[in-house]
Amino acid sequence: MSATPVRPQLDALRWRDVDVLEYKREGGAPFRDVTRQVLFDLPSLACQLRYFEVAPGGHTTLERHQHAHAVVIERGRGRVLVGNAIHDVAPHDLVHVPAMTWHQFVAADEVPLGFLCMVNAERDRPQLPTAEELERLRSDEAIAAFVRT
Amino acid sequence: MSATPVRPQLDALRWRDVDVLEYKREGGAPFRDVTRQVLFDLPSLACQLRYFEVAPGGHTTLERHQHAHAVVIERGRGRVLVGNAIHDVAPHDLVHVPAMTWHQFVAADEVPLGFLCMVNAERDRPQLPTAEELERLRSDEAIAAFVRT
């Protein structure tokens, strides 16, 4: 993390001194075409602020965890599963993912979906659905058509 | 704070279930034409995320405090004092205000300056400069021309 107080945006949603990272470091969790940029990760702040960008047609991992997400959509368009509901999202919409709630972000086919995500710096690891949990989720027809695994 | 997982943007940088508040509740701190919206303030998250908007020609309070700010510019244009340096800022620029660092956000004369600000939920109260501290800040010509008190 640079000590520079101001880091200008260079290209769209790309910043000086911010690396464009793979969404997940470890293998095993299914996702497609997602980048991660850690904008703020400071000892003085109890949360981190990250920027994720899902390419057109891509998706984040379907997962849940004890920690919550506070999300501000910044770019493009897509849909989000939170619990049992699927929502269309566009720039500046706010998304709250509560504890232990299944969630997945899916970009539209034609445009990316970029969003800021605030999380506690200390947090648990995400859980993937078991075959049984996935079956239960898929008992809802709309969710069955939505989820990418 | 609404339990709804998705709160869409209604007008530009105005949201369903988010009140537009005065910048500061208590009197005494000098500022001009600033609104505050608390986007996320949840027991499950150790930080809050707020959206501030400074109207054209307006400014936040010149202050410092122990807690840090992590800022993402969202709208308009302006200038920011952080410590001893003044920076031009525009959408998606990142601003870090470290502990006990004098800072002030000033909107351009023609357009507002809107920004997201992440802070620890538990934090100290801002301090205003004493006459002596203000004199010291103003010993720098650029800062003297910049600061609004």
For B47-59, how does the pLDDT look when each residue is reduced to its tens digit (9 = 90+)? Answer: 999 999 999 999 9
Rounded alpha-carbon distances, angstroms, from residue B91 to A139, B10, B16, B75, B94: 43, 19, 23, 5, 9
Closest CA to B116 of B11, B21, B13: B13
Q: Could you say which of A15, A42, A90 has the minimum Cβ distance to residue B68?
A: A42
Model confidence, pTM = 0.95
For B88-145, how does the pLDDT look when each residue is reduced to its tens digit (9 = 90+)? Answer: 999 999 999 999 999 999 999 999 999 999 999 999 999 999 999 999 999 999 999 9
Q: Which residues does chain A have within 8 Å of residue B94's beta carbon, measured at their own beta carbons?
A: 6-9, 15, 18, 39-40
CA distance A9 to chain B (A): 5
Give me the sign of the Cα torsion angle B24, B27, B30, B34. Answer: positive
Q: Could you say which of B45, B72, B80 has the minimum Cβ distance to residue A70?
A: B45
Active site residues per annotation of A: 117
What ipTM does the predicted assembly reach?
0.94
In terms of C-beta density within 10 A (0-12 exposed, 13-18 middle, 19 or more buried), how is residue B8 classed? middle
Model confidence at A93: pLDDT above 70: yes
- Could you give the CA distance from residue A147 to residue A114 in angstroms, rounded to a whole number? 19
Give me the sign of the Cα torsion angle B94, B100, B102, B103. Answer: positive
